[in-house]
Structure 1
Amino acid sequence: MAGPRAERRVYFEDVQMHAALETPGMTLTETHAAMFTALTGSRPADPGAIPDLIPLCLSSGLGWRVPQAPLVVLAFMGFEWRFLKPARVGDTIHSVSTTVAKRSLKDGGVVVEERRILNQHGDLVQSGRLTLLVAKRPAA
């Protein structure tokens, strides 16, 4: 059964410039690292380190744990990403996303989101920009 959040959607017209969205935190565990290793066969050289892609992936999933309705994303157009500081087992990460650009197209629009992933100390672990194609509101 879908709740009220699932019934709401954020269209291109609703996107506010410089609006920030902060996710709740998630503590990184050895299980996260083990699952990544099982899927990819890749493991960090440092046994206490978390593979770099895990915080990036989790930041997207954590976006579904906020009360705001989701964007109606038609396509993921690309991203630029920086890995700034290693995440470690036991770190609690969260992300802050801010809309930094938007450009209208015929049936949608391009939205550029700057995302920062921080640890429990407020240290910047990763950051970058995601470019999304977002739907315009359907005609009534």
Structure 2
Amino acid sequence: MAGPPAERRLYFEDVRTNVPLETPGLTLTETHAALFGSLTLSRPADPGAIPDLIPLCMSSGLGWRVPQPPLVVLAFMGFEWRFHRPTRVGDTIRSVSTTVAKRSMKEGGVVIEERSILNQRNEVVQSGRLTLLVAKRPTA
């Protein structure tokens, strides 16, 4: 009896540069802020404010809702991030990611991705660069 179909993954060889990938949007709610506050034991002074790390975390989760299969990431090698403007309850965010460079190594490759998180007014609220070590396709 055959097992479940293998989940499709992208390897270093599959990565294309300069092709933007946009996630669907997500509206930030009081519940997001409350759950985050429960986890971090923090509470914002302004009840309508969304903690800065929520959009960053949500953008990673939204990445699973795009048609492209996930990368086989072996390690996070670098992370640079900027917070440009605050987000508030009711804001709808989405993420746009573009691989801007890739460099082959022996058993994998380095992939550099630039990511922007935008609100419903197309304003960049956060942006940054992720450096990832991605696996090469296994040989048979």
Unaligned runs of at least 5 residues, structure 1: none
Matches of 1:50 and 1:2, distance apart in 2 = 40
Q: TM-score, normalised by structure 2?
A: 0.94
Tell me: CA distance 1:2–1:43, structure 2 relative to 1, closer, same or farther (3 Å): farther
Cα deviation digits, residues 1-45 of structure 1 (max 9, x gap)? 967xx6211100111111111000000000000011101112222
Cα deviation digits, residues 48-83 of structure 1 (max 9, x gap)? 110000000000000001111110111111210000
Aligned residues between the structures: 138
Question: Cα RMSD (Å) of the superposition?
Answer: 1.4
Determine the structure 2 residue equivalent to 1:126. 126
Determine the structure 1 residue equivalent to 2:90. 90
SS of equivalent residue, structure 1 residue 7: coil
Q: TM-score, normalised by structure 1?
A: 0.94
SS of equivalent residue, structure 1 residue 112: strand
- Deviant stretches of 4+, over 6 Å: none
Matches of 1:38 and 1:15, distance apart in 2 = 38
Determine the structure 1 residue equivalent to 2:36. 36
Matches of 1:26 and 1:130, distance apart in 2 = 22
Tell me: CA distance 1:2–1:26, structure 2 relative to 1, closer, same or farther (3 Å): farther
Q: List aligned pairs for 1:36-115, cutoff 5 A.
A: 36-115=36-115
Determine the structure 2 residue equivalent to 1:16. 16
Matches of 1:58 and 1:64, distance apart in 2 = 10
